[in-house]
Structure 1
């Protein structure tokens, strides 16, 4: 083959960093909160609690817009579930909120993240502390049998502004306990702890305030403060909550962990400014 011919040989096509998947279902909790599920490719593997890039096909010749989304379904599920908030004028969510079953969504090929059990040292109690759509990874972790095998007690918190924003409340108070895979374990080991900041509610206020003043521990029948010998914590939600709670955890002697070096608590730095 001549040198000219070899130079003209077409380069192999580079695979896109995402695949196109079909929307299975959509549920709108409020005007701004919604969940949806898409097909799961046969070769898509992830650990419960990880996140992946999600997007929509480009319009009018532009480039696709993708954002990081925690996977709300557990690692064994046949579909991929996501929990989202609509951001006014948001380049992705202002379009994503209108998807319907059968529509196409872009799915990144490489899930990753630190909100996984592997990033925590062994312990007895696991606290999943979330605000808003930061509940999403806890939906995954709370449905994983390994969670109940590794921890004697699992506490899932969810702080929102209004009672209507407590999406998945029925799931954590009823449906999860009927799950054929982990229902029995969840009934005996999981506690759901919602708080609301702007509406009247049985547990008012921010989760950070309830931790700081001890109401959180009293409500759960625990001793004062976190115990680094037995307690492990995951954080997901607003940047302010994560930073404040991380400082509280550090004050109790807990050390942040990672995939490379497991610790007492973890947060998702990809979501923290």
Structure 2
């Protein structure tokens, strides 16, 4: 049974009208980059709760959550309206197996996400693990509009700090964006455009992580399987590790 910590909101940062990051100060706890907790709020006599990945480093004392306000949602509109100083509940212990210790070794690591699915990858990249294990890392983030591209300062810092070994490739589906690809992840994999953009091959030496929209994950897995990259399972290691983000 989950236990609950009481945290204090110290920042609610708006990336745009619907996308925001809640930063919370709470009693410290251990987690593995890529794991999630549940955020809860008391509302009309009951706790409303939902799972959110931790964006921050496991060493960071401030918890960071990337949230999209869902029209008609029970919790996200309440989270959107939180102000610094207000309280929020955080579940314990952290959960989930979408972590790098579940990913086999390889030459390259492809971190592919849509929307808020980029969150667990940012937590991973804050640690030394991916940089020590993989020669090349590609962070691919697909969104509808350029205004949905988050954490740009941090990402560009990694680009500058790891020339030749870290690539950031935005994908924007509904408008043109300088340096970005136009389209959807499965189609860009199938056409070879994604490989050409990052200058690397999706072959059996690659490890791919998929997080975000379930349709993207389903179609991308199919395309990757056709390329000879099977799903990674504990009983049968492969090349594609997935997280059903919602």
- Greater Rg by CA: 1
Q: Same fold (TM over 0.5)?
A: yes
* 2:204 is the counterpart of 1:218: no
Q: Which residue of 1 aligns with 2:167?
A: 191
Q: 1:104 to 1:232 in 2, by over 3 A?
A: same
2:78 corresponds to which residue?
Answer: 95
Question: Is residue 6–residue 26 contact of structure 2 (8 Å, CA) maintained in 1?
Answer: no
Q: Distance in 2 between matches of 1:79 and 1:258?
A: 33
User: Pairwise CA RMSD of aligned residues?
Assistant: 1.9
- TM-score using structure 2 length: 0.92
Deviates more, 1:203-212 or 1:93-102: 203-212
Alignment of 1:111-190 (within 5 A): 111-174=94-157, 176=158, 184=161, 186-190=162-166
Residues 119 and 260 in structure 1, CA contact (< 8 A), matched pair in contact too: no
| Alignment partners' CA distance in 1, 2:147 and 2:23 | 21
Match of 2:17 in 1: 31
CA drift at 1:59: 2.6
Q: How far apart are 1:139 and its partner, in Å?
A: 1.0
Alignment partner of 2:35 out of 47, 50, 60 = 50
Give the Cα separation in 2 of the matches to 1:114 and 1:258: 11
Q: Is the 1:114–1:266 contact (alpha carbons within 8 Å) kept by the matching residues of 2?
A: no
> Counterparts of 2:2 and 2:30 in 1: how far apart (Å)?
18
Q: Which runs of 5+ in 1 are unaligned?
A: 1-14, 179-183
Determine if contact 1:72/1:83 at 8 Å carries over to the other structure.
Answer: yes
Q: Could you tell me how far 1:17 is from its partner in structure 2? A: 2.4
Structure having the larger proportion of residues in strand: 2
Instruction: Judge which range, 240-249 or 202-211, deviates more.
Output: 202-211
Report the 3-state secondary structure (helix = DSSP H, G, I; strand = E; otherwise coil) of the residue aligned with 2:95.
Answer: coil
C-alpha separation in 2, matches of 1:222 and 1:189: 11
Q: What is the CA distance between 1:158 and its match in structure 2?
A: 0.7
| 2:62 aligned with 1:86 | no
- Structure 2 Cα separation of the partners of residues 260 and 75 of structure 1: 28
Normalising by the residue count of structure 1, what TM-score does the alignment of the two structures yield? 0.83
State the Cα distance separating 1:125 from its structure 2 match.
0.4
Deviation of the 1:260 alpha carbon: 6.7
Q: 1:256·1:264 contact (CA, 8 Å) conserved in 2?
A: yes
Shift in CA distance, 66/205, structure 1 to aligned 2, threshold 3 Å: same
